[in-house]
Structure 1
Amino acid sequence: MSIKRFSLEYNHVNGRTFSVGDVLSGRVIVVASKETKVQVLVVKAKGSAEVKWYGQDGPNTVSYQDEKKYFYLEHIILQDKNKGDGSEIIRQGRTVYPFSFVIPNKDMPSSYEGRWGRITYNLQAELTQTIWSIHKTSIDFPFLTKSEFPFTPKSEMSIIGLKERQSATIISFYGSGKVILNVTSEKMGLMQGETMEVSVEVINGSNGTVTPKFFLCEKQIFLAQLKTLVHTNEILFGSGESVLARTSRTIINVLSIPRQLSPTFCNCSLIKLEYTLKVTLGDPLARGPDIKLPLVILLGSSISSNPQTVHGT
Structure 2
Amino acid sequence: MGKKMTIKTFAIEYDSINSKNIFTNGDTINGRIIVEVSKETKIQALIFIAKGEANVCWSEDSEQYNQGFRSSEKYYEVTHHILREARQDGTEIIGKGRHVFPFSYTIPDRKIPSTFKSSIGKIVHKLKAELKQSIKLTKKAKTHFKFVSAADMDTPGLMDPQYGCKDKSVRVFGSGNVSFDVHTKRMGYTQGEGIQVIAGISNRSSRSVKPKFTLYEERSFFAQGQRRVHTNEILKDKLEPIKSSDKKTVTKVITIPRDLPPSILNCSIIKLEYRLKVYLNIKCASDPEIKLPIVVLPALEAPSHKQPPPSAGFGFEPFGNPNPAPLGMTPPLQVAPRPVDPPPPYGACAAPAMNPSVNQYGQYENKF
TM-score (norm. length: structure 1): 0.84
Equivalent residue letter for 2:173:
G
Equivalent residue letter for 2:303:
S
* 1:85-100 correspondence runs (5 A): 87-100=91-104
Q: Encode CA deviations 1:143-198: one digit per residue, 9 max, x unaligned.
A: 23346347x3xx5xx24xx2425242332524212333332333322111111222
Between the aligned partners of 1:117 and 1:41, the Cα distance in structure 2 is 31
Is the 8 Å Cα contact of residues 220 and 273 (structure 1) preserved in structure 2? yes
Measured after TM superposition, the shift of residue 238 of structure 1 is 0.9
Equivalent residue letter for 2:35:
V
Residue number in structure 1 paired with 2:314: none
Between the aligned partners of 1:19 and 1:211, the Cα distance in structure 2 is 42
* 1:185-196 correspondence runs (5 A): 185-196=184-195
Measured after TM superposition, the shift of residue 42 of structure 1 is 1.3
Q: Given the superposition, is the C-alpha separation of residues 269 and 132 from structure 1 closer, same or farther in structure 2, using an over 3 Å criterion?
A: same
Is the 8 Å Cα contact of residues 192 and 299 (structure 1) preserved in structure 2? yes
Bigger CA drift: 186-195 or 247-256? 247-256
Between the aligned partners of 2:70 and 2:129, the Cα distance in structure 1 is 26
Equivalent residue letter for 1:210:
V
Residue number in structure 1 paired with 2:266: 267
Measured after TM superposition, the shift of residue 207 of structure 1 is 4.5
Is the 8 Å Cα contact of residues 165 and 179 (structure 2) preserved in structure 1? no
Structure 1 gap segments, 5+ residues each: none
Q: Given the superposition, is the C-alpha separation of residues 196 and 110 from structure 1 closer, same or farther in structure 2, using an over 3 Å criterion?
A: same
1:2 lines up with 2:6 in the alignment: yes
Measured after TM superposition, the shift of residue 73 of structure 1 is 0.8
Is the 8 Å Cα contact of residues 169 and 183 (structure 1) preserved in structure 2? no
Between the aligned partners of 2:142 and 2:298, the Cα distance in structure 1 is 28
Between the aligned partners of 2:210 and 2:118, the Cα distance in structure 1 is 33
Equivalent residue letter for 1:68:
E
Is the 8 Å Cα contact of residues 164 and 290 (structure 2) preserved in structure 1? no
Is the 8 Å Cα contact of residues 280 and 287 (structure 2) preserved in structure 1? no
Equivalent residue letter for 1:31:
E
Match of 2:303 among 293, 302, 305: 305
Q: Given the superposition, is the C-alpha separation of residues 23 and 202 from structure 1 closer, same or farther in structure 2, using an over 3 Å criterion?
A: closer
Measured after TM superposition, the shift of residue 65 of structure 1 is 1.0
Between the aligned partners of 2:7 and 2:87, the Cα distance in structure 1 is 22
Q: Root-mean-square deviation (CA), in Å? A: 2.8
1:294 lines up with 2:293 in the alignment: yes
Residue number in structure 2 paired with 1:126: 130
SS state of the match for residue 110, structure 2? coil
* 1:227-238 correspondence runs (5 A): 227-238=226-237
Match of 1:176 among 174, 195, 201: 174
Equivalent residue letter for 2:96:
Q
The answer to which structure has the higher strand fraction is: 1
State the aligned residue count: 304
**Aligned sequence identity (%):** 38
Residue number in structure 1 paired with 2:347: none
Residue number in structure 2 paired with 1:166: 163
Residue number in structure 2 paired with 1:103: 107
Between the aligned partners of 1:57 and 1:149, the Cα distance in structure 2 is 43
Between the aligned partners of 1:262 and 1:284, the Cα distance in structure 2 is 35
Residue number in structure 1 paired with 2:42: 37
* 1:209-228 correspondence runs (5 A): 209-228=208-227
Q: Given the superposition, is the C-alpha separation of residues 20 and 299 from structure 1 closer, same or farther in structure 2, using an over 3 Å criterion?
A: closer
Equivalent residue letter for 2:225:
L
Measured after TM superposition, the shift of residue 97 of structure 1 is 1.0
Between the aligned partners of 1:305 and 1:102, the Cα distance in structure 2 is 14
TM-score (norm. length: structure 2): 0.72
Q: Encode CA deviations 1:118-163: one digit per residue, 9 max, x unaligned.
A: 222110112233555432211112223346347x3xx5xx24xx24
Match of 1:52 among 57, 71, 90: 57
Is the 8 Å Cα contact of residues 194 and 253 (structure 2) preserved in structure 1? yes
Residue number in structure 1 paired with 2:240: 241
Q: Given the superposition, is the C-alpha separation of residues 82 and 34 from structure 1 closer, same or farther in structure 2, using an over 3 Å criterion?
A: closer
Residue number in structure 1 paired with 2:142: 138
Match of 2:121 among 111, 117, 122: 117
Measured after TM superposition, the shift of residue 82 of structure 1 is 6.6
Residue number in structure 2 paired with 1:72: 77
Is the 8 Å Cα contact of residues 170 and 288 (structure 1) preserved in structure 2? no
Between the aligned partners of 2:133 and 2:193, the Cα distance in structure 1 is 53
Equivalent residue letter for 1:119:
I
Is the 8 Å Cα contact of residues 179 and 205 (structure 1) preserved in structure 2? yes
Q: Encode CA deviations 1:179-232: one digit per residue, 9 max, x unaligned.
A: 333323333221111112222333334454432211012111211112222121
Equivalent residue letter for 1:199:
I
Is the 8 Å Cα contact of residues 280 and 288 (structure 2) preserved in structure 1? no
Between the aligned partners of 1:298 and 1:102, the Cα distance in structure 2 is 23
SS state of the match for residue 285, structure 2? coil
